[in-house]
Amino acid sequence: MHALGSPRAYLITLNPADYPRIAPELVLTPTQIEVARMATSGATVDEIARLLDRSPHTVKTHLKHIYRRLDISTRVELVEVMGTIPPHQVVDF
């Protein structure tokens, strides 16, 4: 019998399909996380491209891959999912 407040181990099983919504940082590359953070901060594709010194086409490709990996289709959904990752820096654009 365990005393109240004593440490216990719990096993939680997750469906792999749920990983992107629970821990998107595990399925996105560092560059994808950076692009996603900028996008969720309100930056346009052109602004992100300028800040990262990339073409707008490259940024759109990153966003397409981000959406696919996270199984989402809108920036609103991206904001919801990315809200689970603690910010490491403020994006200034």
Domains of the chain: 16-82 (1.10.10.10)
Task: Give the predicted TM-score (pTM) of the model.
Answer: 0.67
Burial status of residue 24 (CB atoms within 10 A of its CB: 0-12, 13-18, 19 or more):
buried
Query: Stretch 51-76: mean pLDDT, rounded?
Result: 95
For residue 52, what are its two tokens? 């990262």
Q: Is the pLDDT of residue 48 over 50?
A: yes
Helices 56-70/75-82 angle, 10° precision: 70
Three-state DSSP class for residue 70: helix
Task: Provide the pLDDT for residue 90.
Answer: 39
- For 4-45, the pLDDT digits (tens) are 555 555 555 555 555 555 566 667 888 999 999 999 999 999
Query: Stretch 66-81: mean pLDDT, rounded?
Result: 91
How many helices and strands, by DSSP H and E, does the chain display?
5, 0
Neighbours of 14 (CB within 10 A): 9
